[in-house]
Chains A and B, each alone.
Chain A
Amino acid sequence: MNQILKKEKLAENIKKITIEAPEIAAKAQAGQFVSLIVDKKGERIPLTIVESDRQKGTITLIFLEVGKTTFKLGKLEKGDNIVSLLGPLGKPTHIDRLGTVVTVGGGVGIAEVFPVTRAFKEAHNDVISIIGARSKNLLILEEPLRQVSDKLFVTTDDGSYGQKGFVSDVLKELLERQTKIDLVYAVGPVPMMRVVCEVTRPYKIKTLVSLNPIMVDATGMCGSCRVNVGGETKFGCVDGPEFDGHLVDFVELQKRLGQFCRQEESSRECCRKK
């Protein structure tokens, strides 16, 4: 069960794995995620389903090695099994023919915008993708995204590739040039999503963000993933993971993401020593 069939290194600390998961593959839609446990003493973490292949019965995940669990996941090889895999979870993205859709991905968030970008393209939208990373060697999925976008913009913080600056800069330029945009869809670090929402707010363009709060069961039972959306508490796992970015309290989200920082730090350290 849950055997890793393929493993690829996309960039420093970013890995892509394809897992045998026929039941999940049969159901997965763009925007959904899985909850997984790497080994017997592991924690449960949510990861976006980047691709799913119904015929082959496989799903593909892309992750940044950032904590103990993702480091352990990155150490697994082809042929290894993941102890537990649950999905597909969360509400799928509502895909429709809207006109022009801009998808914005930052860092490993690029992996998460990929399935949504493709789905919007398949629904006959004009799709503009803006992807960005800190520098060239951390940029992922440029080619796959180019294939499912009418236009693709690339930024790097240090200017080592594409336009120097942030994804939000490109979005701002598009809006200043009065590009007609019907929907913006953004995934990436919290500060990036926050800035993207601030950029689109004056233009009143609907902006969806896919959030990645801390989850335990990821089925609506613990409430660890609660997010303040327009003054209401929502559960990221079952009410999300997508929300109207103009209503999300990003400051609270960022704080809640840091809730276990000290523990995570010590956990990662003892993982490294092993």
Chain B
Amino acid sequence: MKQERPQAAKQDPKERIKNFDSVSLGLSEEQAQAEAKRCLQCKKPLCVKGCPVEVDIPAFVKLIADGKFGQAAEKIKEKNNLPIICGRVCPQETQCEVECVLKNKAAPIAIGALERFCSEWQLNLQKHSKPKTNVTEGGNKVKLAVVGSGPAGLTCAADLAKMGYSVTIFESLHKPGGVLVYGIPEFRLPKSIVESEIDYIKSLGVQLRENVLVGKTITLPELFSQGYKAIFIAVGAGLPQFLGIPGENLDRVYSANEFLTRVNLMKAYLFPEYDTPINIGKRVAIIGAGNVALDAARCALRLGADESIIVYRRSQKEMPARLEEIEHAQEEGVKFHLLTLPTDIIPDENGYVKALKCLKMRLGEEDASGRRRPMPIEGSDFVLGVDTVVVAIGQRPNPLITKATAELKTGKHGIIIADEKTQATNLKGVFAGGDITTGAATVISAMGAGKRAARAMDDYIRRN
């Protein structure tokens, strides 16, 4: 009999679109233990190979099966400094779980749900155990700087602190977490969880300095002259892209970054208790179909929109968002206008959005990305009545630090060029990783880069 994976309890879609609380409530102890017992404990576990930060998956799953939930959480933390976050937002279906040998006979082990379960179980006990610090010879007291406090920066800082370095993270916003706090909404990743993960990293001795914009407040050469021996740049991809179509500067046209930053970081959903406003109408179109687009679409419903419509030029198959998120969005009533290309944003007499002029598309030959290229169907133009538009077609690397540091070698779209294995840049003692070196990608791939950089920085310090 083909065994199914346990289904975590979820908030009812009708209820949850009225609040910003967590959608998935996580597994119960019984569910988690039963699921963990399904694990075959492979001698050569393929799942670990799928994990960018090399978590010892069979070991922590075994501990859950044995009811040792706290120990399971500690096991994950040996490699992964942000386990609850990964449990919630990692695309396990394309990483560890896709490698699980059970996937052919039954469903793969729900590794992500188990990771979240034991880490949250431990958090609820408020037992953030102080990890043993492993001080490397000569590494102690050496000052290192990390620029940016998103997943890559936090991971690198935590690993370096565990090695005994004195690490300071510089963050430009007033709150640490990067995309975890400004981008991913509360209902997918509660900010209290991000805070507790960051508290854990601080408990390792990492110093955090908010409101410092490296490149403006302080430059890379100045950091070196202040005694930092090496620097890791992890400033992310936060430069919003626009379509370049008429009407894009109308009122109530937002970049996804602006929309989500207002809602998540600045808590516009609690306006006027919080001071930052958001102005949306009743019919919101979100252009794009990645995770960011779906986050914006689901936020729009929670902010009171009657209709939230994804407008995407390709078909469902090509949507870059995680399947789980697409399903959640569908359950909540987000509508999908696929194979649709917006060409104009039409204003009303007051300069607000009145409608979106679109073209119908069909799929042609495969393009460079391996996806079938969308082609406009002649004479298929139509008008979609909407009063708010969110442009969620991707972000490019933040250009501030590279503009301020002309010697730093950059590549396509302004990414910083870094070595794949060591994350080293062309500048001595300067490393870079995460979205700033890849363009917008995932939390976990950024964390993997943070880990590689930490190792390479340690190596660099020992050699110099």
Which residues of A line the B interface, CB within 8 A? 23-24, 27, 37, 41-44, 68-69, 83-89, 216-217, 219-224, 226, 228, 233, 238, 252, 255-256, 258-260, 262-264, 266-267, 270
Q: In the complex, A256→B279 CA distance in Å? A: 12
- Given A217-B173, A221-B257, A262-B279: A23 and B251 interface contact (C-beta under 8 Å): no
Question: Do the beta carbons of B238 and A221 come within 8 Å of each other?
Answer: yes
Question: Do the beta carbons of A255 and B216 come within 8 Å of each other?
Answer: no
Q: In the complex, A259→B218 CA distance in Å? A: 34
Chain B's nearest CB lies how many Å from the CB of A168?
25
Chain A's nearest CB lies how many Å from the CB of B147?
13
- Given A23-B218, A233-B242: A226 and B213 interface contact (C-beta under 8 Å): no
Question: Do the beta carbons of B273 and A41 come within 8 Å of each other?
Answer: yes
Residue in A83, A87, A224, A258 whose CB lies within 8 Å of B174: A83
Residue in B213, B238, B279 whose CB lies within 8 Å of A263: B279
**Interface secondary structure of B, over-half rule:** loop
Chain B's nearest CB lies how many Å from the CB of A163?
35
Chain A's nearest CB lies how many Å from the CB of B414?
11
- Judged by a CB distance under 8 angstroms, whether B239 is at the interface is yes
Contact partners of B248 in chain A: CB under 8 A = 233
Q: In the complex, A264→B275 CA distance in Å? A: 9
Q: In the complex, A27→B217 CA distance in Å? A: 7
Interface centre among B251, B274, B400 (most CB of A within 10 A): B251
Which residues of B line the A interface, CB within 8 A? 172-174, 182, 210-213, 216-218, 238-240, 242, 248-249, 251-252, 254-255, 257-258, 261-262, 266-267, 271-279, 351, 398-400
Question: Do the beta carbons of B174 and A223 come within 8 Å of each other?
Answer: no
Extra contacts besides A221-B261, A223-B258, A226-B249 (15): CB < 8 Å: A42-B275, A86-B212, A87-B213, A89-B213, A217-B173, A220-B239, A223-B254, A224-B254, A233-B249, A238-B399, A252-B351, A259-B252, A259-B279, A260-B277, A263-B271
Question: Do the beta carbons of A228 and B249 come within 8 Å of each other?
Answer: yes
Question: Do the beta carbons of A267 and B272 come within 8 Å of each other?
Answer: yes
Enumerate 22 A-B pairs (CB-CB under 8 Å) in ascending A order.
A27-B217, A41-B273, A42-B274, A43-B275, A44-B266, A84-B210, A87-B213, A87-B217, A217-B182, A219-B398, A220-B399, A221-B257, A221-B398, A222-B257, A224-B255, A233-B242, A259-B251, A260-B279, A263-B271, A263-B278, A267-B272, A270-B272
Contact partners of A42 in chain B: CB under 8 A = 274-275
- Given A84-B174, A86-B217, A223-B242: A41 and B275 interface contact (C-beta under 8 Å): yes
Contact partners of B255 in chain A: CB under 8 A = 222-224
Question: Do the beta carbons of B272 and A266 come within 8 Å of each other?
Answer: yes
A-B interface, 7 closest residue pairs, ranked by CB to CB distance from nearest: A263-B277, A222-B258, A84-B174, A221-B238, A43-B275, A43-B276, A223-B255
Contact partners of B239 in chain A: CB under 8 A = 220-221
Chain A's nearest CB lies how many Å from the CB of B392?
12
Q: In the complex, A258→B258 CA distance in Å? A: 16
Question: Do the beta carbons of A24 and B217 come within 8 Å of each other?
Answer: yes
Q: In the complex, A263→B212 CA distance in Å? A: 30
Contact partners of A255 in chain B: CB under 8 A = 251, 351
Contact partners of B217 in chain A: CB under 8 A = 23-24, 27, 86-88
Interface centre among B266, B267, B272, B399 (most CB of A within 10 A): B272
- Given A43-B276, A252-B249: A220 and B398 interface contact (C-beta under 8 Å): yes
Q: In the complex, A202→B240 CA distance in Å? A: 37
Question: Do the beta carbons of A216 and B213 come within 8 Å of each other?
Answer: no
Contact partners of A259 in chain B: CB under 8 A = 251-252, 279
Chain B's nearest CB lies how many Å from the CB of A251?
9
Question: Do the beta carbons of A219 and B277 come within 8 Å of each other?
Answer: no
Chain B's nearest CB lies how many Å from the CB of A72?
8
Interface centre among A23, A41, A222 (most CB of B within 10 A): A222
Contact partners of B399 in chain A: CB under 8 A = 220, 238
Q: In the complex, A41→B278 CA distance in Å? A: 15
Question: Do the beta carbons of B258 and A216 come within 8 Å of each other?
Answer: yes
Question: Do the beta carbons of A219 and B213 come within 8 Å of each other?
Answer: yes
Question: Do the beta carbons of B261 and A216 come within 8 Å of each other?
Answer: yes
Question: Do the beta carbons of B262 and A216 come within 8 Å of each other?
Answer: yes
Chain A's nearest CB lies how many Å from the CB of B171?
10
Question: Do the beta carbons of B216 and A41 come within 8 Å of each other?
Answer: no
- Given A86-B217, A263-B271: A221 and B279 interface contact (C-beta under 8 Å): no
Contact partners of B279 in chain A: CB under 8 A = 259-260, 262-263
Q: In the complex, A190→B351 CA distance in Å? A: 17
Beta-carbon nearest neighbor of A269 in chain B: B272
Beta-carbon nearest neighbor of B236 in chain A: A221
Contact partners of A220 in chain B: CB under 8 A = 238-239, 398-400
Contact partners of B262 in chain A: CB under 8 A = 216, 222
Q: In the complex, A217→B261 CA distance in Å? A: 8
Residue in B172, B267, B277, B398 whose CB lies within 8 Å of A41: B267
Q: In the complex, A119→B68 CA distance in Å? A: 67
Q: In the complex, A44→B273 CA distance in Å? A: 15
- Given A84-B174, A222-B255, A222-B257: A41 and B211 interface contact (C-beta under 8 Å): no
Contact partners of A85 in chain B: CB under 8 A = 211
Contact partners of A89 in chain B: CB under 8 A = 213, 216
Q: In the complex, A222→B239 CA distance in Å? A: 7
Question: Do the beta carbons of B261 and A222 come within 8 Å of each other?
Answer: yes
Chain A's nearest CB lies how many Å from the CB of B148?
12
Interface centre among B210, B212, B275, B279 (most CB of A within 10 A): B275
Question: Do the beta carbons of B261 and A256 come within 8 Å of each other?
Answer: no
Chain B's nearest CB lies how many Å from the CB of A114?
22
Question: Do the beta carbons of B274 and A41 come within 8 Å of each other?
Answer: yes
Q: In the complex, A252→B352 CA distance in Å? A: 11
Q: In the complex, A270→B266 CA distance in Å? A: 18
- Given A228-B249, A252-B249: A43 and B213 interface contact (C-beta under 8 Å): no
Beta-carbon nearest neighbor of B237 in chain A: A221
Question: Do the beta carbons of B258 and A86 come within 8 Å of each other?
Answer: no
Contact partners of B182 in chain A: CB under 8 A = 217, 221
Chain A's nearest CB lies how many Å from the CB of B62?
43
- Given A23-B212, A43-B266, A262-B279: A221 and B240 interface contact (C-beta under 8 Å): yes
Beta-carbon nearest neighbor of A89 in chain B: B216
Q: In the complex, A137→B366 CA distance in Å? A: 69
Chain B's nearest CB lies how many Å from the CB of A252?
6
Beta-carbon nearest neighbor of A24 in chain B: B217
Q: In the complex, A241→B266 CA distance in Å? A: 23
Question: Do the beta carbons of A219 and B275 come within 8 Å of each other?
Answer: no
Chain A's nearest CB lies how many Å from the CB of B317?
30
Chain B's nearest CB lies how many Å from the CB of A66?
14
Question: Do the beta carbons of B172 and A86 come within 8 Å of each other?
Answer: yes
Question: Do the beta carbons of A87 and B216 come within 8 Å of each other?
Answer: yes
